[in-house]
Amino acid sequence: METFARGAALWEVECPRLPGRVAGVTMAGFRIRDLEALRIVPHPAVTLLVEFGAGPPVVEGGAGRRHRGSLAAGPGLGSGGAVRARGENVECVQVRLSPVIARAILGASPAELDGAVVPLDELWGREAARIRERLAEAPSWQDRFALTDALLARRYEAGPPVDPEVAWAWHRITAGRGPVRVDGLADEVGWSRKRLWSRFRSQLGVPPKRAVKLVRFDHAAHRLVAGERAARVAAESGYADQSHLHRDVMEFTGATPATVAGEPFLAVDGLAWPARGTAATPQPHYF
């Protein structure tokens, strides 16, 4: 287990040593003594948080909404900078799911999450309580990852796949790290624009145009965390200019690019998801 320190943040972080059974699943383990008002930065994946420690994390959103414990959240949670997480003595396994596989694993479309936080037991019923108990009893983090991986694989095999055309369109967007002509995607899969937009939104939980913006933002934000200049990031990430980058960062986080560059939520990726990290040219990890 490694230690992540950024400002007042001090977290213990663990990663799986073995690859998972399902492509499009990544996970990390966290032990945090004092989680202070962490800003949730939007991410182009479905997030599962399975907690098992003495102090369940609390996620606070806009309009006074508050959730305690294990949760699922759709792509783009935290847009506008209004979502915060906090807690004491937090222990959890965080899972990032490609939207392409999320419907099968969740047992519901990511569209039903609607950018909000949903208690995991509302989706999984008693299975959510059982995995929490088993994680708490497991003797090591690697055992916890193995338990989580087995559960996700079992649910994935039993769940419905997305349309191949929808999966292909998602791959095109993530392979290009965002800058893709969304109007051309329907022609490339041989569908009408209306049909692709409807299926993409209903199966992945985000419209194609929003997906493009979210993937591009995520790539740019990690480059900012890596210390690159905003002007260079804007020029090489598909933005019209630096002002365009600034507007997107403000839209997704409610903060400036300089502030986002210091966000622990992004900076910890270098330890928690080392294959992704915060390198200058990070590889897409959304499947």
Q: Bigger pLDDT: 43 or 183?
A: 43
Contacts within 8 Å (CB) and 24+ apart, 194-201: 196/165, 196/166, 196/169, 199/163, 199/165, 199/166, 200/166, 200/169, 200/170, 201/111
Domain boundary residue, one of 137, 158, 179: 158
The structure tokens 């992945």 sit at 204
**Do 21 and 113 lie in a common domain?**
yes
What's the number of domains the chain is made of? Answer: 2
Same domain, 146 and 203: no
Range scoring the smallest mean pLDDT among 23-37, 94-108, 266-280 = 266-280
- Look at residue 278 and tell me if it is in a domain: no
pLDDT single digits (tens) 200-213:
999 999 999 999 99
Q: Mean pLDDT: which of 28-42, 48-62, 143-157 is highest?
A: 143-157
* 80 is a domain residue: yes
92 has which bridge partners? 30, 51
How many whole angstroms separate alpha carbon 152 and alpha carbon 202? 21
Lowest mean pLDDT among 131-145, 179-193, 194-208: 179-193
CA atoms within 13 A on the CB side of 140: 7
Are 215 and 284 in contact by the 8 Å Cβ rule? The answer is yes
User: Average per-residue pLDDT in the chain?
Assistant: 90
Residue 28's contacts (CB-CB under 8 Å, 6 or more residues apart) are: 13, 14, 15, 16, 93, 94, 271, 272, 273
Specify the pLDDT at position 164.
96
E strand spans, the chain: 2-6, 9-14, 25-39, 46-51, 58-60, 66-68, 71-73, 84-97, 117-119
- Do residue 198 and residue 57 come from a single domain? no
Residues 207 and 143 in one domain: no
- By the 10 Å C-beta count (0-12 exposed, 13-18 middle, 19+ buried), 107 is classed as middle
Q: Are residues 126 and 11 in the same domain?
A: yes
Answer whether residue 280 shows pLDDT above 50: no
Share of residues in the chain with pLDDT > 90 (%): 75
Is 90 exceeded by the pLDDT of residue 14?
A: yes
Q: What is the pLDDT of residue 8?
A: 78
Mean pLDDT of 140-151: 98
Task: Note down the domain range covering 221.
Answer: 164-272
CATH number at residue 17: 2.60.120.10
pTM: 0.90
Q: Tokens 């338990």 correspond to what residue?
A: 147
In this predicted structure, the answer to whether residue 247 has a pLDDT above a threshold of 90 is: yes
How large is the C-alpha radius of gyration of the chain? 18
Q: For residue 31, what are the β-bridge partners? A: 12, 91
Among 26-30, 62-66, 268-272, the range scoring the smallest mean pLDDT is 62-66
Other CB atoms within 10 A of residue 160 CB? 9
CB 277 within 8 A of CB 218: no
Q: What is the reported pLDDT for 63?
A: 61
Q: 62: pLDDT confidence band, cut at 50, 70 and 90?
A: low
Q: What is the mean pLDDT of residues 124-151?
A: 97
Residue 187: give its domain's CATH number: 1.10.10.60
The answer on pLDDT for 113 being more than 90 is: no
**In this structure, how many other beta carbons lie within 10 angstroms of the beta carbon of residue 185?**
23
- What does the alpha-carbon distance between residue 147 and residue 90 come to, in Å, rounded to a whole number? 19
Reported confidence tier of residue 178, pLDDT bands at 50, 70, 90: low
Q: 124, 77 in Cβ contact below 8 A?
A: no
Judge whether 44 lies within some domain: yes
